[in-house]
Amino acid sequence: MLKLNKGFLINGVVGLFFIICLSVRSGYSISPILLALVGLGYLIYDLIKKRKWQISPDEKWLIYSYGLYFSLFVLSLLIHQGRLKELDSPVKIVFLLTLLLLFSRFPIKFSTLIYAIPMGSMIAGITALIDRFYLHSQMAYAPRIMHIQGGDIAMSLGMFSLVCCIYFFIKQQKKWMLFCLLATLSGMLGSILSTARGGWIGVPFVLCFIFWAYRKYLSRTFFVSVISILVVAVGVAVSIPNTKIMKRINAAQHDITSYVDNKKGSDSTSVGARFEMWKSAFLMIKEKPVFGWGIEGVNQMRKEHQKQGIISKYASQFTHAHNQYLDDFSKRGVLGFIALLAVFLVPMRFFRKNLSDRLEVKVVAIFGMVHVISVMFYCFSQGFFSHNSGNIFYFFPVILFYAVILNLTAKKSAESTKS
């Protein structure tokens, strides 16, 4: 009974991650840190008792990718004589690996994900409405989290909810299907109200993947119905002035045109500054492609580029390139860039190969693929991992989805053996 209670509690804490992710300050970190501490306790206990930990080949590859990512931060710190605080985020990422042990001891139920995710997305949308229209914040989530990060996370919750929606459609649970459809729109609304445009770019690709992954279960009527609802909902949101969607889109178009035409001040707009930072990063990569410049070196070099008139003063003040790929490449060289790709492609390979399994496994694999694809798109216009929220929101769910899939497949194997 005690073990059952512990498992129930751990499942509850996992569910809480999605529910309070954007509605509570640092809500994205509460559950992962608590769970990782418990996982660390079990790891220490097992080491003292000299118990063997069975690690699957898939888990080993995930551990290797996380370890490589961490190692490049350490190598960069040693080469460039950086500061120890540069390891704050990478250490947390490695720390999260203790969850593989914890979740193998206390499996996370499929039902925890399928119900907690849409609830979290719904709450994210309600939170955004409160922020914008009750608290009168210029950008949703800004009181608790950097608004671009918040908008991206809200969009992910919305896309996860669409995956849940189609699952409930297949299972013919209409009430939950409708709730998840509303949760999808709620998460998307949260992203819109955050005014974070980067989160919108990858949506068409993510939607195409979700429908492709479910193609054998769905009729053409379902596709048309859901797409129509999403298009109408977005159209309504665009037509409402208070959402500022058109204002943000028009601003982006104006910024790009002005930058191309080399108009005065165009290099100090939101989009123009990104182009300037990317230009600076490319120059740094060209000069030191193998090991990069290190964090402090990049900051100093960006200021040097400003003094040389290569980039604007506004762009020189940022500590990351607003593009995770260029940022890692410029700071840690080609090795750092490869390590970054590894933490995307290793999990993607695992999730991809589980897409053909039975429905519950397939759903979690779709969660994983949607998660990786979405964050890869976020990283094109934002230093997503330059923020604690981005690190935890990416790396924790990857481990979570891994663990759920491994548990479901182990159950399937056990049932096959018995029969």
Name the residue among 185, 30, 88, 181 with its Cα closest to residue 385.
88
* N residues, the chain: 419
3-state DSSP: the chain helix, strand, coil percent, rounded to 5? 80, 0, 20
Q: Which residue has the higher pLDDT, 295 or 234?
A: 295
CA pair distance 109, 360, nearest whole angstrom? 10
The Cβ of residue 182 has, within 10 Å, a number of other Cβ atoms equal to 17
pLDDT higher than 80, residue 2: no
Q: For residue 383, which phi and psi values (nearest 5 degrees)? A: -80, 75
Query: What pLDDT is recorded for position 44?
Result: 92
Determine how many CB atoms are found less than 10 A away from the CB of residue 21.
28
Is the per-residue pLDDT at 1 higher than 60?
A: no
160: its two tokens: 């996860």
Tens digits of per-residue pLDDT, 118-157?
Answer: 999 999 999 999 999 999 898 999 989 999 999 999 999 9
- The reported pLDDT for the residue numbered 193 is 92
Q: Mean pLDDT across the stretch 94-121?
A: 96
Predicted pLDDT of residue 417 = 64
pLDDT value for 319: 87
Distance CA 151, CA 76 (A): 31
CB 183 within 8 A of CB 123: no
Residue with tokens 């080949």: 57
Quick one: which of 276, 366, 364, 353 has its CA closest to 321?
276
| CA pair distance 137, 298, nearest whole angstrom | 33
Cβ contact 126:186 at 8 Å? yes
The pLDDT, as a whole number, for residue 415 is: 66
Q: Which two tokens mark 388?
A: 């604690």
Predicted pLDDT at 225:
85
Q: Which residue has the tokens 């707009």?
A: 269
d(CA 401, CA 114): 12
The predicted structure's pLDDT at residue 341? 98
Quick one: pLDDT band at residue 385, thresholds 50, 70, 90? very high
154-212 tens-digit pLDDT: 999 999 999 999 999 999 999 999 999 999 999 999 999 998 887 888 999 999 999 99
Q: How far apart are CA 292 and CA 12, in angstroms?
A: 43
pLDDT at 3 over 70: no
Percent of the chain's residues with pLDDT above 90: 71
The pair of structure tokens assigned to 374 is 């979405």
- Measured from the Cβ of residue 151, the count of other Cβ atoms closer than 10 Å reads 31
d(CA 112, CA 134): 31
* The predicted structure's pLDDT at residue 245: 67
Report whether 321 contacts 277 (CB < 8 A). yes
pLDDT for residue 206: 96
Where are the domains positioned within the chain?
2-61+93-242+358-418, 246-319
Q: For residue 338, what pLDDT band results from cuts at 50, 70 and 90? A: very high
What gap in Å lies between CA 327 and CA 299, rounded to an integer? Answer: 11
Write down the pTM of the prediction. 0.94
Tokens encoding 218: 């769905």
Would you call 94 helix, strand, or coil by DSSP? helix
Mean predicted confidence (pLDDT) in 6-19: 95
Q: How far apart are CA 100 and CA 40, in angstroms?
A: 10
How many Å apart are CA 147 and CA 143, to the nearest integer? 8
Q: Chain-wide mean pLDDT for the chain?
A: 91
pLDDT tens per residue across span 248-265: 677 777 778 887 777 777
The whole-number pLDDT of residue 240 equals 67
Beta-carbon neighbour count of residue 204 at 10 Å? Answer: 9
Instruction: Identify the sign of the CA torsion 259, 263, 267, 269.
Output: negative
What are the helix and strand counts (H, E) for the chain?
Answer: 18, 0
